[in-house]
């Protein structure tokens, strides 16, 4: 039985309830919601009943415990989350603009998860896992990059697999050593999950078809391209599957890619047919956008089955 691991930031998200530019004025807020792309990903994996764990750090405060409690409730092994008595849990304030973009105010680097170093305990935890999921957002600090690359190496060396969701923000891309770290992760990746244009950050080719072929030729086994409300596609050397999205009311798109990815990885590791795996992931991404708060739209398998039954093959 597989056990899925991720490493990276855990924080809370506080969301403006009206649209506009940033926070240089008083705005109505909701939250704190448990968050951090790796935390959302692993929560969705746990909710599907799949064995999984996260390695991270939080402060010994309410923002840390709201995350630990939620992840525990949803079945995630939280033994790799270090609670720092002198630390503070990170936070992100997010406000959607009228144009659909988002403005963030982050406090991660100075928070407990600003550094994640491995210990004998977390190395032992890594050795119980058979699949590592890397999130580009988690490559924000040298210690976290080192921890992620160590986990990737160990899990691959033991015959496990790696998935990679670049999830890139331009401000992270220009951090020192970031591009090298991304290439190293890519060279170990079995399942690559970019969103739309991110594909072209990793390939020379200028068309999607050629970029996919180029990456498959480098040894990546499967590629899933996420397309927001346009659906998603799957590619391997023999198969291509394209699905349009399920029809839902979008309330908050944060977390869609993480829930989609978590569901794809979980069902892919079960050895299901890629078309079936993509259908579940597509349903998971769709359900994720229907609730305010990044992790609030994570689904159980029964909820995914209900959406798929109600709407058929999107
Ligand atoms: P990311 O957050 O990584 O950019 P996307 O926004 O592409 O990811 O969303 C991931 C997946 O979630 C999409 O491929 C799609 O399956 C689903 N999804 C996203 N937004 C919607 C939406 N508005 N309606 C239905 N499905 C959606």
CATH of the domain at 249: 3.40.1190.20
- Residue 229 Cβ inside 6 Å of ligand 1? The answer reads yes
SS3 102: strand
Cα–Cα distance, 71 to 21 (Å, whole number): 32
Give pLDDT, residue 100. Answer: 85
- Residue 41 Cβ inside 6 Å of ligand 1? The answer reads no
Mutate to test the pocket of ligand 1, among 102, 257, 290 (most ligand atoms within 8 A of CB): 257
**How many helices (DSSP H) and strands (DSSP E) are in the chain?**
10, 13
**Among the atoms of ligand 1, which is closest to the Cα of residue 225?**
14
Cα–Cα distance, 157 to 231 (Å, whole number): 34
Give the pairing type, strands 29-35 and 11-16. antiparallel
List the residue whose alpha carbon is closest to atom 13 of ligand 1.
228
Give pLDDT, residue 179. Answer: 83
**What are the phi and psi torsion angles at 288 (to 5°)?**
-60, -30
Extended strands (E) in the chain: 4-7, 11-16, 29-35, 52-59, 81-84, 90-96, 102-107, 131-135, 161-165, 191-192, 222-226, 232-235, 240-243
Q: DSSP letter for 130, please.
A: S
Give pLDDT, residue 171. Answer: 62
- Residue 280 Cβ inside 6 Å of ligand 1? The answer reads no
List the residue whose alpha carbon is closest to atom 22 of ligand 1.
229
**Alpha carbon separation from 313 to 241, 277, 282 (Å, rounded):** 12, 12, 10
Cα–Cα distance, 128 to 150 (Å, whole number): 14
Give pLDDT, residue 170. Answer: 64
**220 Cα–ligand 1 center, Å:** 23
List the residue whose alpha carbon is closest to atom 12 of ligand 1.
285
**231 Cα–ligand 1 center, Å:** 7
Question: What is the tally of structural domains in the chain?
Answer: 1
Give pLDDT, residue 140. Answer: 85
List the residue whose alpha carbon is closest to atom 8 of ligand 1.
257
Q: Which residues contact 279 (CB under 8 A, 6 or more apart)?
A: 243, 308, 313, 314
Give pLDDT, residue 109. Answer: 82
Rg (CA), the chain: 18
∠ CA 294-299-305, nearest 5°, is 145
**256 Cα–ligand 1 center, Å:** 5
Q: Which residue range is the domain that position 42 belongs to? A: 4-311
How many other C-beta atoms lie within 10 A of the C-beta of residue 254?
24
**Alpha carbon separation from 238 to 108, 145, 146, 181, 243 (Å, rounded):** 42, 33, 35, 29, 17
**Alpha carbon separation from 197 to 23, 226, 227, 228, 229 (Å, rounded):** 28, 10, 9, 12, 15
How many other C-beta atoms lie within 10 A of the C-beta of residue 306?
14
Give pLDDT, residue 101. Answer: 87
Closest CA to 295 of 84, 58, 66: 66
Cα–Cα distance, 168 to 190 (Å, whole number): 19
In order along the chain (314 residues), what is the average pLDDT of each group of 10 residues?
Answer: 95 96 96 97 98 98 98 98 97 94 89 96 98 93 94 98 89 75 95 93 94 97 97 97 96 94 98 97 98 96 97 72
């Amino acid at each position: 039985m597989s056990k899925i691991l991720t490493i990276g930031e855990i924080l809370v998200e506080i969301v403006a309830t009206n649209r506009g530019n940033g926070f240089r004025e008083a705005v109505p807020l909701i939250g704190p919601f448990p968050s951090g792309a790796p935390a959302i990903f692993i929560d969705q994996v746990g909710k599907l009943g799949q064995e999984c764990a996260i390695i991270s750090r939080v402060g010994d405060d309410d923002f840390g415990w709201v995350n630990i409690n939620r992840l525990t409730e949803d079945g995630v092994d939280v033994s790799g989350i270090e609670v720092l008595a002198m630390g503070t849990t990170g936070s992100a304030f997010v406000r959607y603009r009228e144009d659909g973009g988002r403005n963030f105010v982050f406090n991660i680097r100075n928070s407990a998860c600003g550094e994640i170093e491995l210990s004998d305990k977390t190395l032992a935890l890594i050795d119980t896992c058979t699949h590592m999921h890397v999130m580009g957002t988690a490559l924000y600090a040298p210690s976290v990059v080192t921890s992620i690359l160590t986990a990737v190496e160990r899990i691959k060396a033991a015959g496990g697999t790696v998935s990679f969701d670049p999830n890139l923000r331009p401000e992270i891309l220009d951090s020192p050593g970031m591009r090298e770290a991304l290439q190293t992760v890519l060279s170990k990746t079995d399942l690559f999950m970019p969103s739309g244009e991110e594909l072209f950050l990793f390939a020379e080719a200028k068309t999607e078809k050629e970029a996919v072929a180029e990456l498959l030729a480098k040894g990546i086994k499967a590629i899933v391209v996420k397309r927001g409300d346009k659906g998603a596609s799957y590619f391997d050397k023999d198969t291509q599957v394209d699905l349009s999205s399920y029809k839902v009311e979008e309330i908050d798109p944060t977390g869609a890619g993480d829930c989609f990815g978590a569901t794809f990885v979980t069902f892919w590791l079960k050895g299901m047919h890629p078309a079936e795996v993509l259908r579940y992931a597509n349903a998971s991404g769709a359900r994720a956008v229907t609730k305010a708060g990044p992790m609030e739209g994570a689904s159980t398998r029964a909820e995914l089955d209900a959406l798929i039954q109600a709407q058929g093959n999107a």
